[in-house]
């Protein structure tokens, strides 16, 4: 097994290979990887079975086993994801602009790969193919560090991919897998600034926190979503109920699900009972402040902790406010910078909410569930950034690129 430094160095060498690949060559390899993954289904499943057996023999949580398990359908899903990437425009090489300066220098900015991307993730082996595909399409070398529970599955998937690369005369070192399951090695990896340009953690809050705290390599943080919907005085209440029901219950385990309702006091008596009736269809538990409890009676009282909690469950907190300013202040205090919505028919309040709420995606009159790369028309998604550097909100292929200045002169010197 190579040392982490050797792995990173090899990826760094692969960077130049990737930067020179044409779109045609990248798309051909992606198609063939998709085919090979399906063709090698049995091989991948037998490796995955080792991981599953190990999981069970250690007596680990059966409920969490599902995310580790592969099936023929899931492998087919990986292939579909890769084929979808083929159909997307290659962002590399685009010159964003070129202008001529007074001294005749022609200066432009050109889109280029980031270089070497490190992806640190948990025990979902499908991320292995997905992360490889996104980085490969954007001309980057990639170093993968998946969860140790999935190590056999990841080794098998990476072997299938590297074999296809080799058959395409692409140095397989452009894809590296860290096989060590030692946490200290992962920490060492996070400090390999000499070789790695960017780290992207994909997973739960604990993983992301560990990367942010330990990495010296620049990190693109993907984050949690404590998303609010504010129902303003002028809202169409039927629309509000539809949006809240959708944002809360359409899929509860995702970061763009609604976790907290903020209600203008003028509409609480009319809105809350009708909303509760609708949410009862899905047995959503409500936790309200004193005013909300006053209307709905038999619901729990929300605590300070509730306002800051991403439930990822059939639970919704309810805060009543006197006006939009109080709503915005509450949201800016407790949100995680993900997705926030106002339901209103008031022009000024709609604009105020869009202006003042500090989040990656701010909505008027629509469900927060739309915050993702496909729904926003980006075509693919590596994650949703809740930080403000480089990329904010759903990250498509362009988030995996950078730019460089290119300058055409004819002998200019600086006076």
Residues that bind a copy of itself (CB under 8 A): 15-16, 19-20, 99, 101, 105, 107, 114-115, 193, 197-198, 212-213, 216, 218-221, 236, 239, 242-243, 245-247, 250, 332, 350, 354-356, 358-367, 369-371, 375-377, 387-390, 392-394, 402-414
Torsion of the alpha carbons at 406, 408, 414 and 415, rounded to the nearest 10 = -140
Residue pair 94/111 in contact (Cβ under 8 Å)? The answer is: yes
Length of the chain: 415
| Alpha-carbon distances, residue 8 vs 104, 145, 147, 165, 382 (angstroms) | 41, 12, 18, 18, 21
Shortest distance, position 81 Cβ to a copy of itself, whole Å: 20
Q: Which two tokens stand for residue 206?
A: 């604990």
Give 141-171 as a DSSP string.
Answer: EEEEE--GGGHHHHHHHHHHHHHHHHHTT--
Nearer to a copy of itself, 185 or 239 (CB): 239
Exposure pattern of 339-363 as b/e (b: 16+ CB <10 Å)?
bbbbbbeeeebbebbeeebebbbbb
Shortest distance, position 381 Cβ to a copy of itself, whole Å: 13
| Alpha-carbon distances, residue 7 vs 1, 116, 122, 158, 303 (angstroms) | 9, 11, 20, 14, 48
Nearer to a copy of itself, 178 or 220 (CB): 220
Nearer to a copy of itself, 133 or 393 (CB): 393
Nearer to a copy of itself, 301 or 374 (CB): 374
Nearer to a copy of itself, 109 or 163 (CB): 109
Nearer to a copy of itself, 5 or 60 (CB): 5
Residue pair 307/260 in contact (Cβ under 8 Å)? The answer is: yes
Shortest distance, position 344 Cβ to a copy of itself, whole Å: 11
Shortest distance, position 367 Cβ to a copy of itself, whole Å: 5
Shortest distance, position 410 Cβ to a copy of itself, whole Å: 5
The candidate with the shortest Cα–Cα distance to 148, out of 71, 275, 249, 60, is 60
Residue pair 373/222 in contact (Cβ under 8 Å)? The answer is: no
Nearer to a copy of itself, 117 or 144 (CB): 117
Shortest distance, position 198 Cβ to a copy of itself, whole Å: 6
Chain centroid to Cα 186, Å, comes to: 21
Residue pair 151/231 in contact (Cβ under 8 Å)? The answer is: no
Shortest distance, position 128 Cβ to a copy of itself, whole Å: 24
Shortest distance, position 343 Cβ to a copy of itself, whole Å: 9
Tokens 């509730």 correspond to 306
Nearer to a copy of itself, 230 or 245 (CB): 245
């Amino acid at each position: 097994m190579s040392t982490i430094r050797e792995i990173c160095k090899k990826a760094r060498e692969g960077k130049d290979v990737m930067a020179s690949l044409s779109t045609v060559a990248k798309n051909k390899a992606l198609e063939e990887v998709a085919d090979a993954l399906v063709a090698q289904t049995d091989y991948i499943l037998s490796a995955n079975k080792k991981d599953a057996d190990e999981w069970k023999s250690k007596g680990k949580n059966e409920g969490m086993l599902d995310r580790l398990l592969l099936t023929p359908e899931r492998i087919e899903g990986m292939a579909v994801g890769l084929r979808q990437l083929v159909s997307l425009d290659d962002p590399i090489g685009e010159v964003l602009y070129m202008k001529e300066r007074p001294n005749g220098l022609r200066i432009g900015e050109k889109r280029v790969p980031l270089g070497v991307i490190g992806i640190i993730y948990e025990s979902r082996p499908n991320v292995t193919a997905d992360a490889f595909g996104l980085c490969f399409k954007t001309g980057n070398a990639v170093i993968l560090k998946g969860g140790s529970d999935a190590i056999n599955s990841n080794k098998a998937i990476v072997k299938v991919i590297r074999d296809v690369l080799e058959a395409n005369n692409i140095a397989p070192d452009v894809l590296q897998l860290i096989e060590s399951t030692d946490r200290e090695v992962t920490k060492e990896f996070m400090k390999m600034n000499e070789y790695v340009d960017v780290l992207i953690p994909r997973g739960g809050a604990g993983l992301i926190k560990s990367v942010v705290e330990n990495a010296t390599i620049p990190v693109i943080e993907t984050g949690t979503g404590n998303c609010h919907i504010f129902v303003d005085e002028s809202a169409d209440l039927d629309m509000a109920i539809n949006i809240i029901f959708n944002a809360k219950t359409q899929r509860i385990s995702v970061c763009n699900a609604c976790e907290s309702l903020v209600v203008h006091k003028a509409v609480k008596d009319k809105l809350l009972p009708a909303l509760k009736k609708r949410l009862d269809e899905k047995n959503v538990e409500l936790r309200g402040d004193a005013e909300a409890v006053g209307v709905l009676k038999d619901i729990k009282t929300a605590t300070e902790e509730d306002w800051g909690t991403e439930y990822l469950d059939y639970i919704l907190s309810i805060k009543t406010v006197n006006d939009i300013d109080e709503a915005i202040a509450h949201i800016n205090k407790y949100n995680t910078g993900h997705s926030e919505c106002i339901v209103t028919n008031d022009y000024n309040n709609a604009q105020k909410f869009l202006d003042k709420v500090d989040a990656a995606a701010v909505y008027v009159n629509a469900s927060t569930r739309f915050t993702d790369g496909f729904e926003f028309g980006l075509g693919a998604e590596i994650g949703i950034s809740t930080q403000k550097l480089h990329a904010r909100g759903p990250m498509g292929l362009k988030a995996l690129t950078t730019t460089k200045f290119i300058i055409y002169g004819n002998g200019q010197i600086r006076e």
